[in-house]
Amino acid sequence: MDKVPIVPADDAAKSRLKKLAWHFECHHKAKPEFFIRVPGRVNLIGEHIDYSGYAVCPMAIEQNILVAIGQSKDDRISITNIDPKYEEIDMDLSISSFREVLMRHEIKWYKYFVCGLTEGFELAKSGLELIRGLNTSIWGTIPPAAGLSSSSALVCSGVLAITHANKLHLAKDILATQSAKAERLIGTEGGGMDHAIAFLAQQGTAKLIEFNPLRATDVTLPRDAVFVIADSMKRHNKAAFNNYNTRVVECKLAAKIIAKKYGICWRDIEILIDVQRVLGKTLKEMADIAAQELSDCDVQEICQILQVSVMELSAIVKIDNDDTRKFHLRKRAQHVFEEAARVIEFRDVCCQESTNQIQRLGELMIASHRSLRYLFDCSIDEVNQLVDMAIDSGAAGARLTGAGWGGCVIALTTKDKADEFVKDLGDKMREAYHLSDETDMDTLIFKTEPGQGAAVYSKF
């Protein structure tokens, strides 16, 4: 597998790099030695299925995290941000001091970077005798907690910063896998989509990302298609709520219960794709099985089906002794199997030019959103309203992107209609969100194209 390219800075990056270098010099009293850039991403289709092992279809976006990096003299790690609202931090270069920062209760922006440093350090440690401390300065342009993967871009930056600074030039898939592992240190049991696309993205093409083993293949979007991101302005920080992790638990339990009902050793089954593989069924058949075999269950009922005690179950999935939750196993598993099928159809439609290509892609996006709204229960009124407004403004399709409970919508339109669409939806957003005439709408609604994955800038 390829390595992260080391490239001279392009013109688009140069002015930001200069500004960041200046900030770096002011804070660290030395010049940066190199820079890294890690993009955010937008997922076109395939939501909440990566952690069940199914393929997804994201692309990198232009918005990114830039980090200026230099060796520190005192073997410490120092992290600053160009935006003064993000406080700086300084710590020892050791796993124990990274972990101490991560254990602190407050939610801090730099924790994501420290997660990356932690797992990057583990990688570097095995290949090197001496690990050098780092001075770093960060500048992000990805809106936080908006479903565009700002957190994962920070995590990936941490892994890339510490490995590259220590002259460890690893393959992209290793960096992606380690970054996915790193982000779990924050406490969200996420899948690997965001880190995979951050490293494996290529300019001009979306990617079908498959897992176990990690692979990325091109999904060439129709020439006429234009994707537009619109921001509901509702923020959702996954790390602060347990609804994301609850979905992960529900999908895992659904997999185990289907296995149990089919006489498969359910303890060996971890995720929904495992049980599909053992049963040798199609996604459509699996969705039917989910509808027949699963229902809403509480912990007691799940224990009865699996014939285990609550204590045994809590060793398998994260539940508490006094857990009173109802787990919506049927709806969640149905979504996963149907969404996984939509991803494959989306890819197939992209591959075969036809007159109704855009219409069909739009229909798949609309179906995806409906499923996220009604089966996966991860949308909110404001996001549903934004999807409806996008359709009203003439989008062929629109859906929430990322984990949901807020954040952004991705809409599909065509080249001839794109400007008018952006203007029309922008006007509707301005009215719905009571925005003043001074509001910079370009940050709330913008066209997006498939961008390049992570890179190292040696010079600028």
Residue 157 interacts with ligand NG1 (CB under 6 A)?
no
Site for Mg ion in 141-170 (CB under 5 A): 149, 151-152
- Helix (H, G, I), strand (E, B), or coil: what is residue 68? strand
Residue 403 interacts with ligand NG1 (CB under 6 A)?
yes
Alpha carbon distance 314, 327 (integer Å): 14
Catalytic one of 74, 90, 92, 194:
194
Catalytic residue status for 440: no
Q: Report how far apart, in Å, the C-alpha atoms of 77 and of each of 80, 93, 114, 134 are.
A: 10, 6, 10, 5
Looking at residue 13, its amino acid is A
Residue 238 interacts with ligand NG1 (CB under 6 A)?
yes
Count residues binding Mg ion (CB under 5 A): 3
Binding mask 121-150 for ligand NG1 (x = CB under 6 A): --------------------------x-x-
231, 428 contact by CB (below 8 A): no
Site for ligand NG1 in 6-45 (CB under 6 A): 43
Burial 420-457 (b: 16+ CB within 10 A, else e): ebbebbbebbbeeeeeeeeeebeebbbbbebbbbbbbb
32 binds, among Mg ion, ligand NG1, none (CB under 5 to 8 A by kind): none
339 binds, among ligand NG1, Mg ion, none (CB under 5 to 8 A by kind): none
48 binds, among Mg ion, ligand NG1, none (CB under 5 to 8 A by kind): ligand NG1
Residue 179 interacts with ligand NG1 (CB under 6 A)?
no
Pick from 459, 325, 427, 446: nearest CA to 34: 459
Residue 188 interacts with ligand NG1 (CB under 6 A)?
yes
Residue 55 interacts with ligand NG1 (CB under 6 A)?
no
Site for ligand NG1 in 193-232 (CB under 6 A): 193-194
Residue 188 interacts with Mg ion (CB under 5 A)?
no
- Whether the link from the prior residue into 8 is cis, omega within 30° of 0, is no
Alpha carbon distance 131, 302 (integer Å): 47
Residue 51 interacts with ligand NG1 (CB under 6 A)?
yes
389, 425 contact by CB (below 8 A): yes
Per the structure block, which two tokens stand in for 421?
């669409």
Through-space distance between the first and last CA atoms of the chain, rounded to whole angstroms: 27
Residues in a beta bridge with 92: 76
Residue 274 interacts with ligand NG1 (CB under 6 A)?
no
Residue number, 137 or 149, with CB nearest to Mg ion: 149
Q: Which residues are catalytic?
A: 194
Q: Which residue ranges make up the site for Mg ion (CB under 5 A)? A: 149, 151-152
Q: Which residue ranges make up the site for ligand NG1 (CB under 6 A)? A: 43, 47-48, 50-51, 147, 149, 151-152, 183, 188, 190-191, 193-194, 238, 402-403
